Structure 1
Amino acid sequence: MVTVAGGPIPVTIERPSEVIYNENALAHVVPRVPGIARTVEANEGDEVSEGDVLAVLDSRELADAKAAYLASLERLALAKENFDRAEALIGKRIVSERTHLTAKTDFAEARINLRSARQKLLALGIGESRLKEIAEQDEADLTAYVMHAPIGGTIVARHLTHGESVSTDREAFIVADVSTVWVDISIYAHDLERVEKGQPVTVTTDGGLQVDGKIAFVTPNVSEETRTANARVELENAPRHLRPGMFVTAQIALTEDPVDVRIPASALQSHEGQSVVFVREGDDGPLKPRPVTLGRSNDAYVEVLGGLKPGETIVAEGAFLVKSQLAKSDFDDGHNH
């Protein structure tokens, strides 16, 4: 038995959906220089932290860039030394203006060349801290290009083996942080006017796991192939039960307007062509079927527009059994002949 009261009745729709990677937490690791894989440190399925070494390549192109940088450092030091000497001697009129100007020009060009060589190494992924170490490397290390994990996560793909030639036009690793995932929901054209950003969504797997979220956005276009739009939900995935590639069901709460009177859907029965509920008359009175006028509904609740008042007591669970017993015993004063 339950007491009749008001409350919200979410109007929901269920749509097919797919779990995919959160692309804001997905990294395609592509080498910035071609080379040969010297060592491969990470395997598919490994957990890595940001900055971990994934592989080391031997790269002639990187070696050339490092050599150019080192040569630029040497030329700058020499040019500065010559300029400082010319600067000191011109005041004593020991060197000519032309010699001083040449030294000044060479010094400026050396600084430009060093800046250019430095920028090239930065573009190849050599960080500021590594630039300071290059001058101390032995010749063999000049060829070493270290591939680091750009984010923390799981190695979900590895396309690199020891001794393999690697180019700059394909990924060597894919790293994914699956602590959050996206769920793409197929929205049919006739639902588009009712589905919008911010609506609550419950995602259910085939195994019965349910995860709640909200629609982050709805695509403005409809796919020419499927004739559906796409609504996306970002979900926390701490237990990692949601795996990219899984097909799931999404229940979208379109509206959640409060109603004055609502009853459990299980309380509703059909009697002599009418929708009825069984009402307790008085504190200990008999159960009587009462016709009701219905409004909005979902799987759990039904709005009652007429026939019931808040505070009345009705049968919620087992209403069909009550109906059968009343019919058998003719308990409803002639309504069940």
Structure 2
Amino acid sequence: MSRSARRDVALLLLGLVAGAGTLYVLQDRPASVTSSHAAEGGHGHGEEEGHAEGAVELNDAKLAAAGIGLETAGPEKLRQKLRLNGLIQPNQEAVVQVAPRFPGIVREIRKRLGDKVNKGDVLAVIESNQSLTTYDLKSPISGTVVDRGVALGEYVSEQKPAFIVADLSTLWVDLSVYRKDFAKVRLGDPVQIDPEDGGAPISGQVIYVSPIGATDTQSALARVAIPNDG
């Protein structure tokens, strides 16, 4: 490669480096890169002197030798990725603690841990201490029994929930955001959850960001809602 070709390539590469990391490149007089089919032989400094000011002229051979391709520039959105650890839990707005209306003895248990229930399904049958008659303890929502705190023949009262039923159609993922990343997380941000079980990522979005961070961990809570098709 001649000294003129090396100089031309160096000028072009310098221009490319200067523009790296810029979203939009605005120029009053944009520099041009043109391809010339003129023969290389017989041209010295006179070829350089014939170039327009601010232009770098390279022929096809020089472009190919430098490995340079020509593309049309345009605007593009910059995206930041932030990797965070999180904890999956039930949607607490769809969790119901089911307590007996009257104190009494558990005579029957109709539903167990993990059972799916519909609204109005009987969870247990309780004999009231007041009337000595039985009544049905029913689920107020459709969902899954995620906790059972009573056993057959046990005394129960309204002071303690006998069952916990949760609608698991949506889940929450609580993410820990470190102080240095607070400004990068906002309501409505799209999130990809990696289940780490070989399955496909799960899409969700940020529905809550705590206004302050925890003093002990120097981190803040960002909550993501995801669908639970399983």
1:160 and 2:150 aligned: yes
Provide the residue aligned with 1:232 in structure 2: 223
Which of 210, 213, 217 in structure 2 is aligned with 1:222? 213
Amino acid at match of 1:224: T
CA distance in 1, matches of 2:196, 2:96: 29
Amino acid at match of 1:187: V
Amino acid at match of 1:207: D
Deviations 1:136-177 (A, max 9, x none): xxxxxx622311011111111112221111122221111111
CA distance in 2, matches of 1:59, 1:44: 24
1:210 and 2:217 aligned: no
Confirm or deny: 8 A CA contact 2:187 2:209 kept in the other structure: yes
Amino acid at match of 1:148: K
Shift of 1:200: 1.2
Deviations 1:285-319 (A, max 9, x none): xxxxxxxxxxxxxxxxxxxxxxxxxxxxxxxxxxx
1:59 and 2:49 aligned: no
Provide the residue aligned with 1:83 in structure 2: none
Deviations 1:154-207 (A, max 9, x none): 111112221111122221111111111001110111211221111111111112
Provide the residue aligned with 1:119 in structure 2: none
CA distance in 1, matches of 2:159, 2:84: 38
Q: What is the count of residue pairs matched by the alignment?
A: 160
Rg (Cα) greater in structure: 1
1:147 and 2:137 aligned: yes
1:39 and 2:39 aligned: no
Higher helix share: 1
CA distance in 2, matches of 1:225, 1:31: 39
Which of 175, 181, 185 in structure 1 is aligned with 2:175? 185
Amino acid at match of 1:214: Q
1:50 and 2:40 aligned: no
Provide the residue aligned with 1:29 in structure 2: 98
Indicate how the Cα distance of structure 1 residues 55 and 3 shifts in structure 2: closer, same or farther if over 3 A, else same. Answer: farther
Q: CA RMSD in A?
A: 2.0
CA distance in 1, matches of 2:188, 2:81: 14
Unaligned residue ranges in structure 2 (runs of 5+): 1-68
Provide the residue aligned with 2:4 in structure 1: none
Provide the residue aligned with 2:18 in structure 1: none
Higher relative contact order (CA 8 A, sep 6+): 1
Indicate how the Cα distance of structure 1 residues 218 and 171 shifts in structure 2: closer, same or farther if over 3 A, else same. Answer: same
CA distance in 2, matches of 1:204, 1:231: 16
SS in structure 2 opposite 1:8? Answer: coil
Which of 189, 192, 214 in structure 2 is aligned with 1:199? 189
SS in structure 2 opposite 1:51? Answer: coil
Q: What does residue range 46-195 of structure 1 map to in structure 2 within 5 Å?
A: 46-61=115-130, 63=131, 143-195=133-185
Q: What does residue range 276-315 of structure 1 map to in structure 2 within 5 Å?
A: none
Shift of 1:3: 6.3
Shift of 1:2: 11
CA distance in 2, matches of 1:31, 1:227: 42
Unaligned residue ranges in structure 1 (runs of 5+): 64-141, 241-337
The runs of at least 4 aligned residues of structure 1 exceeding 2 Å deviation read 1-9
Confirm or deny: 8 A CA contact 2:205 2:224 kept in the other structure: yes
Shift of 1:212: 1.2
Shift of 1:5: 5.9
Indicate how the Cα distance of structure 1 residues 32 and 2 shifts in structure 2: closer, same or farther if over 3 A, else same. Answer: farther
Indicate how the Cα distance of structure 1 residues 31 and 230 shifts in structure 2: closer, same or farther if over 3 A, else same. Answer: same
CA distance in 1, matches of 2:70, 2:175: 36
SS in structure 2 opposite 1:215? Answer: strand
Shift of 1:4: 6.8
Shift of 1:211: 1.0
Q: What does residue range 2-17 of structure 1 map to in structure 2 within 5 Å?
A: 6=74, 7-17=76-86
